[in-house]
Structure 1
Amino acid sequence: MPRLGNKGNGFADVEFGLFEDGIVFDHLSGKTHYFYREENRIEKAKDLLRDSAGNDRVSFGKPRSNVSQEDFCERVEEAKNYIGSGDVFQVVLSKRYKIPFKGSLLQFYRALRRINPSPYMYYLKFGDREIVGSSPEMLARKIGRSAESFPIAGTRPFTGDSARNKALAAELLQDEKERAEHVMLVDLSRNDLGRVCEYGTVKVPEFMRVQGYSHVQHIVSRVTGQLRKNATSFDLFRAVFPAGTVSGAPKVRAMEIIDELEPTARGPYAGAVGYFSANGSADFAITIRTLCAQDGYCYLQSGAGIVADSVPDREWIESERKTATLFTAMDQAQEEDS
């Protein structure tokens, strides 16, 4: 797909590192491991750790959205017009908050780990660019010849009341719109894996269960398959990226509509964070529930899947719920510094 509009976001399209050694902290065992390929630099690594200990204070300014609720709802209606015309079945529209900040985002990461532990937690620093997130959603994973993805679609609040949570989960599973949207995205994931997997091996071992997180609960499924003999981890990534759950269906037309309707380029949001290993394995999360920072500003972004019977105000509320965890982590990170 050719590059679309040049809206600019300051982030590279792709950024990887080739690491000859590293320090791994195992949260289950509480042990720290050092690995290297050729040169053992353990003493230098210890020095780096000592030098990194310092002031982790952080403060955040007033958030500013790149779109008002009224404008967002108008764009939902425009997306529904495209759906009604047969261009797409679904398109995911997002909005972004821009927030000035000062200090270290490590304190924010610590708060995020505590209040929203997720399958994928990450703090990445590339020079003056930082990406901090707690993503619940796998884009794709490869171990040996096995591949899998973990589509998430369908949202309700997750509260401190277990009875209320059960009622909301039951309501979610009975919502025809949410069910139809989820089934469509599971089918899209099956199709993506089918492009690189052996015929007949793509399965859905987990289908439409509700998973709770700190502020929201989602319908989730798991799609698996066995890769063809000549398929690599790079082939798998190319087949599934970007995820249909953050773009829409069909993907290419949905991305064209997103480029038309969203006022700013997404940058890292809705992309992927993960790794390709030298042993052929790979594991990537979708970059959601994530803060991206550069030049004294951080950015939070969230979206909602628009379908034919979407209610614009409800889609706005859903997108707001998805950033609630990040704003809570900001507040806690600042309180710990005071």
Structure 2
Amino acid sequence: MVHVRGPADHSPVPPSGAPPAAPTACRARHHALRSFSWRQGDSGDPAELLTGFLADSGLPVRNLGRTDDKNRTNGHGTICGASLYVSADAGSVMINATPGAPSPVPSVPDVHAVIWVHAPQVTTGSTGDWELGTWAASWSPEQHAQAVQRVRDAIGRGDVYQVNVVGHASAPYAGDPAAALNRVAALPGARYGGVLAAPDGSWAIATASPETLVEVRDGRVLTRPIKGTRPATAEGRRELLASAKERAEHVMIVDLERNDLARLPGTGPVRVEELFAVRQWCGLWQAESVVSAPLSGDVGLAELLRAVCPGGSVTGAPKIAALAQIAALEPVGRGVSMGALGWIGHDHVDLGLSIRTVAVDGARVHAWAGGGITADSDPEAEVAEAAAKAGPLRAALAGPVTASA
């Protein structure tokens, strides 16, 4: 059953800082008006149901090239915009692909949107009590390495060209997670740093994602795929720039993203504005490109989500075949990771890819990390890369962020 909550049954969102990608004006004074949730097994098309909910709330999601009245109200204050989360599995459902294993955080829906209004935000503050237990991985390093080898075998057979393999770990906690989640959101390089929480406080998502899944602004649609990682040292930067394997992997995903945008109705020529630019996230160098196209006709949110979800940089190529490999390989679902998380405004859409993202339920905190596998991938190196990506998240959850995080 699809759930829509209104003001009467919508308790204040627990203290969580700003929602991911919220504009500055909405970060200072915002209050949740109502929310929408959809889970696998619910009836209806999630992309269409979500679009209808947001359109009924006054957001121009049926034609993303149109700027709506920024002072639109709905009887409860000026609507600032909407937070949006779409799981990787919801993205698979939208394109009739194979969903992955069950989520380890079943309390989090597969699609969740919150309408925010300009109003004083009600928070109670964090108690400051927080204790994190021992992390338990859903697979061993050996099992992770075996999955990498199975992908290499599939590539050798010609089944796929590249597959992103992701692992999961969780830890018990006690106390108030708000401060720990805000530390995650504040990690250096987090373009989409923020927290999204359930209306009843039963779950929360914190992201430090640096990657743009899709942005629509000023008549253009763009994506910024990230592929290729090395330690943030001078030697690491030289290695990344010189690596033929990393560049080939990156260009393959850029080409996939070009095709994704080209499938959108009402878009002009797709071009690569920037290729293999090296940027920093915490203690890592990462390679990023910018792919964009002009919007020359009507493009709705449902069409946009079907074109870009799940994100190519966390699936592989071809996308449908890669998703089938992922469903067969990963023993634990991707949950809140590898999906979309961001903001729908009156004049723009800005969704980050939910990498470098954690979730809490009532008992445990969950984190995911992985990487793209090609024919030249070394299994042990891929396991080490996933650990390097998870490291800053675990450190932020465990205690205050330091300058060396």
Fold agreement, TM-score > 0.5: yes
In the alignment, what sits opposite 2:102?
7
In the alignment, what sits opposite 2:362?
295
Q: CA separation of 1:233/1:191 partners in 2, compared to 1, >3 Å: closer, same or farther?
A: same
Q: Answer whether contact 2:98 2:327 (CA < 8 A) is retained.
A: no
Question: Are positions 1:17 and 2:114 aligned together?
Answer: yes
In the alignment, what sits opposite 1:330?
397
**Percent of matched pairs sharing the same residue:** 31
Query: SS state of the match for residue 201, structure 1?
Result: coil
Question: Are positions 1:265 and 2:333 aligned together?
Answer: yes
Counterparts of 1:131-280 in structure 2, within 5 Å, are: 131-158=205-232, 165-196=233-264, 201-277=269-345, 279=346
In the alignment, what sits opposite 2:150?
78
Aligned with residue 64 of structure 1, among 111, 115, 136: 136
Q: CA separation of 1:200/1:54 partners in 2, compared to 1, >3 Å: closer, same or farther?
A: closer
Name the CA distance, whole Å, in 2 between partners of 1:146 and 1:327: 36
Question: Are positions 1:122 and 2:122 aligned together?
Answer: no
Question: Are positions 1:103 and 2:170 aligned together?
Answer: no
Shift of 1:110: 3.5
Name the CA distance, whole Å, in 2 between partners of 1:120 and 1:199: 25
Shift of 1:200: 5.2
Q: TM-score w.r.t. structure 2 length? A: 0.71
Name the CA distance, whole Å, in 1 between partners of 2:322 and 2:97: 14
Larger mean CA deviation between 60-69 and 202-211 belongs to 202-211
Q: Answer whether contact 1:209 1:219 (CA < 8 A) is retained.
A: yes
Query: SS state of the match for residue 318, structure 1?
Result: helix
Q: Answer whether contact 1:196 1:227 (CA < 8 A) is retained.
A: no
Query: SS state of the match for residue 165, structure 2?
Result: strand
Aligned with residue 281 of structure 1, among 343, 348, 354: 348
Name the CA distance, whole Å, in 2 between partners of 1:117 and 1:104: 25
Q: Answer whether contact 2:271 2:293 (CA < 8 A) is retained.
A: yes
In the alignment, what sits opposite 2:125?
53
Q: CA separation of 1:75/1:241 partners in 2, compared to 1, >3 Å: closer, same or farther?
A: same
Name the CA distance, whole Å, in 2 between partners of 1:176 and 1:108: 38
Name the CA distance, whole Å, in 2 between partners of 1:73 and 1:269: 20
- State the Cα RMSD in Å: 2.0
Shift of 1:122: 1.1
Q: Answer whether contact 1:142 1:233 (CA < 8 A) is retained.
A: no
Larger mean CA deviation between 145-154 and 102-111 belongs to 102-111
Q: Answer whether contact 1:116 1:325 (CA < 8 A) is retained.
A: no
| Matching residue's letter, 1:131 | I
Q: TM-score w.r.t. structure 1 length? A: 0.84
Q: Answer whether contact 1:210 1:218 (CA < 8 A) is retained.
A: yes
The alignment covers a number of residue pairs equal to 303
| Matching residue's letter, 2:102 | K
User: 5+ unaligned residues in a row in structure 2: which ranges?
Assistant: 1-95
Query: SS state of the match for residue 101, structure 1?
Result: strand
Structure with the higher helix share, 1 or 2: 1
CA deviations over 1:148-207 (Å, ceiling 9, x no partner): 10010000011xxxxxx2332122111111000000111111111111265652111111
Name the CA distance, whole Å, in 2 between partners of 1:184 and 1:318: 19
Aligned with residue 163 of structure 2, among 77, 88, 91: 91
| Matching residue's letter, 2:211 | E
Query: SS state of the match for residue 261, structure 2?
Result: helix
Name the CA distance, whole Å, in 2 between partners of 1:211 and 1:88: 28
| Matching residue's letter, 2:127 | N
Query: SS state of the match for residue 113, structure 2?
Result: coil
Query: SS state of the match for residue 206, structure 2?
Result: strand
CA deviations over 1:204-234 (Å, ceiling 9, x no partner): 1111111012121111111111124121233
Q: Answer whether contact 1:302 1:323 (CA < 8 A) is retained.
A: yes
CA deviations over 1:60-87 (Å, ceiling 9, x no partner): 0000000001111111111111111111
Shift of 1:88: 0.6
User: 5+ unaligned residues in a row in structure 1: which ranges?
Assistant: 22-34, 36-41, 159-164
In the alignment, what sits opposite 1:309?
376
Q: Answer whether contact 2:227 2:249 (CA < 8 A) is retained.
A: yes
